[in-house]
Amino acid sequence: MKYSAVLALVAISGVHAHTLFSKLFVDGIDQGTGTCIRMRKDPSKATDPINDLSSDAMACGVDGTLGVSRVCAANSGSALTFEYRDWPDDASRGSIDISHKGPCAVYLKKVDSAISDPGVGNGWFKIWESGYDEIAGKWCTEKLIANNGHLSVQLPTGIQGGYYLVRPELLALHQADKTPSNPQFYVGCAQVFLHSTDTVLPPASDTVAIPGHVKAGQPSVTFHIWKEPMALPYPMLGPAIFSTISKRDIAVRTLQLKQTEGLVPAHCVLQNANWCGNELAKYSDENGCWNASTNCWDQSSTCYNTAPPTGSTNCAIWEEKCKAIQAQCNAGNFNGPPDYMKNLTPAAPIVNLPQPSAAQVGDGSYLAAAGPPASLVTTSTSLVAATSPASSASSPASSTLKVSTDGSCTNGITCLGSTFGDCCSGHNWCGSTPDYCGDGCQAGFGTCGTSARRSVEEVSNKGKHKRHLRLHGHAPADQAIQAEAGKDKKDLEIHKQGYRPADLVVDES
């Protein structure tokens, strides 16, 4: 038969012909490898497909009921780009084998907590799908490969703000015609907080349960892609696409919700997926130095132990920081830590991303929505912005920046016009007191100096300001030092001798 050669290629494809959702971009901004994404814990099986359509793994993948500590922010109409990798820790080695042809879809689920909700069960609704393009003669997965593993979709406008699980779905049909049929699903979930003042959500009748949105034996999962000619059109799987158009007239505007979970810790100076390396407390004596060394190595151990299949590359960077502190203590230099609050997260690589497909209306046509430019390109920027020199003058931020909706600034986000205050502090948080507008204030992302306007929250309730300072890491330094000084010192002598915990010996193969 004509397709025998292709089937032979399928048979000899190696174990790394599969794929994993490994990275999320929001409006072209790299959120970090593995960040905000639930994925299988075992690296050796992370790219394996899901074959049991009744398994809970159909929702967010194997181990997908377990949330991660980070939640990424997006806006109504934002472009989300999902990066798939054949090798989770190496994007350069391709996205998925060319034989794994099939459709793609993107689902959302509104949840109370993006971290603790298991994802399994009712409440999922589809916002986008792509099957076989009869004009181009390509499956969605083939277009994914052509875009270097990237799938870009624009979120619909009109839906309610808050926490969501976002579920991209790939289906490989290369063995669907077998007996028994073997459709292969590749799914994962991103944890996202959507900034939106709209209130529209689909009624229960427009949502589905996962697992359950597709069943074994249905035409969409047994479709014969090698038959010539194929029995087109391909019958898309799952529910119809949810449309907000008919509900917009009754949408009620509400106060914008604020993200409270999954934020980057205030003193985070290095990220590896969902792990953050928190800066050590300042010290000026021997005990403080060795306490910092102990804390540093403890964090290093956590970094390696919690690293997802996408790798532990940045854990090695943190390890070098620990070695530097330990060497400082051994040398009798008890003033530190060195390079206090220096951003250690490497700059994100420059990646060309495909144009985002607009959110679709229920009939499969496209819904125009305000959002990012048609062509997205990430820039080589750091995930944790470095601080800028202090400025004593008021300098308005560029009008091309987005106004902060979660209190953070830099990386394309300005405080100017936010409800948190107009000044962007040296620690990358918005406010309007001298802590934010004085030394270290970043004029490129807001205003600086005493003329900055006070935030709505501070005017309405002065007590909230103190809480805001604590939340964003501006507690007095001596409090942090006291907290560190109170730690158990049982490992003090061990670290003085230069011992590295045994559990930090990592197999790099």
Beta strands 208-210 and 132-133: pairing type?
unpaired
What is the C-alpha separation between 154 and 168, in angstroms, rounded?
13
The pLDDT of residue 363 is above 80:
no
The pLDDT of residue 466 is above 90:
no
Distances (CA, A) of 480 to 302, 322, 383, 484, 486: 21, 19, 24, 6, 10
pLDDT given at position 122: 97
pLDDT digits (tens, 9 = 90+) for 275-304: 999 999 999 999 999 999 999 999 999 999
The pLDDT of residue 469 is above 70:
no
pLDDT given at position 361: 46
Query: Higher-confidence residue: 357 or 325?
Result: 325
Give the side-chain half-sphere CA count within 13 A for 445. Answer: 30
pLDDT digits (tens, 9 = 90+) for 408-451: 888 778 888 887 888 888 777 888 887 788 877 888 888 887 54
The pLDDT of residue 464 is above 80:
no
What is the C-alpha separation between 481 and 288, in angstroms, rounded?
8
pLDDT given at position 434: 79
pLDDT digits (tens, 9 = 90+) for 313-329: 999 999 999 999 999 99
pLDDT given at position 11: 38
pLDDT given at position 477: 40
Query: Which are the contacts of 206, defined by CB distance < 8 A and separation ≥ 6?
Result: 125, 239, 240, 242
Place of tokens 């997926």: 273
Q: How confident is the model at residue 69 (pLDDT cuts 50, 70, 90)?
A: very high
Beta strands 138-139 and 72-75: pairing type?
unpaired
pLDDT given at position 505: 35
The pLDDT of residue 485 is above 70:
no
Lowest mean pLDDT among 21-25, 77-81, 434-438: 434-438
The pLDDT of residue 368 is above 70:
no
Name residue 463's amino acid. Answer: G
pLDDT given at position 111: 97
Instruction: Give the N- to C-terminal CA distance of the chain in Å, as an integer.
Output: 42
pLDDT digits (tens, 9 = 90+) for 206-260: 999 999 999 999 999 999 999 999 999 999 999 999 876 544 444 444 556 899 9
Lowest mean pLDDT among 51-55, 215-219, 432-436, 470-474: 470-474
The pLDDT of residue 4 is above 80:
no
The pLDDT of residue 5 is above 90:
no
Mean per-residue pLDDT for 182-199?
95
Mean pLDDT (the chain) is 80
Q: How confident is the model at residue 360 (pLDDT cuts 50, 70, 90)?
A: low
Percent of the chain with pLDDT over 90: 61
What values do phi and psi take at 203, rounded to 5?
A: -65, 165
The pLDDT of residue 123 is above 90:
yes
pLDDT given at position 429: 81
What values do phi and psi take at 116, rounded to 5?
A: -95, -20
Mean per-residue pLDDT for 70-83?
96
Q: How confident is the model at residue 352 (pLDDT cuts 50, 70, 90)?
A: very high
Helix H or strand E segment including 75? strand 72-75
What 3 state SS string does 87-127 have?
A: ECCEHHHCCCCCCCCCCEEEEEEEECCCCCCCCCEEEEEEE
Q: How confident is the model at residue 400 (pLDDT cuts 50, 70, 90)?
A: low
What is the C-alpha separation between 264 and 309, in angstroms, rounded?
21
Q: Which domains does the chain have, with CATH numbers?
A: 4-9+16-250 (2.70.50.70), 280-340+479-504 (no CATH), 385-474 (no CATH)
pLDDT given at position 406: 75
Query: Higher-confidence residue: 494 or 194?
Result: 194
Q: How confident is the model at residue 264 (pLDDT cuts 50, 70, 90)?
A: very high
pLDDT given at position 146: 96
